[in-house]
Amino acid sequence: MPLSPPVERELVHDRTVVCRGWRRTDGHWDIEGHLVDTKTYGFPNEYKGFIQPGQAIHDMWLRLTIDRDLTVVGVEAVTDSGPFPICPDIAPNFQRLVGLSIAGGWRRTVRERLGGVEGCTHLVELLGPMATTAYQTIFGERSRERREAEARGEAPVREDGERKPPLLNSCHAFGESSPVVAKLWPRWFRPADDVEAAKAHTSG
pLDDT at 169: 83
Burial of 56 (0-12, 13-18, 19+ CB in 10 A): middle
158 lies in some domain: no
Predicted confidence at residue 148, as pLDDT, reads 72
To the nearest 10°, report the CA torsion of 108, 19, 26, 168: 50
So what's the pLDDT on residue 163?
Answer: 73
The stretches in the chain having pLDDT less than 50 are none
Note the pLDDT tens digit of each residue in 117-137. Answer: 999 999 999 999 999 999 999
Q: Are the C-beta atoms of 82 and 60 separated by less than 8 Å?
A: yes
Query: pTM of this prediction?
Result: 0.81
24, 78: one domain: yes
> What pLDDT, on a 0 to 100 scale, did the predictor assign at position 48?
87
In total, how many domains does the chain have? 2
pLDDT of residue 203: 63
Task: Please check whether residue 157 lies inside any domain of the structure.
Answer: no
Domain boundaries, position 114: 13-149
Tell whether 199 is covered by a domain.
yes
Claim to verify: residue 50 and residue 143 sit in the same structural domain: yes
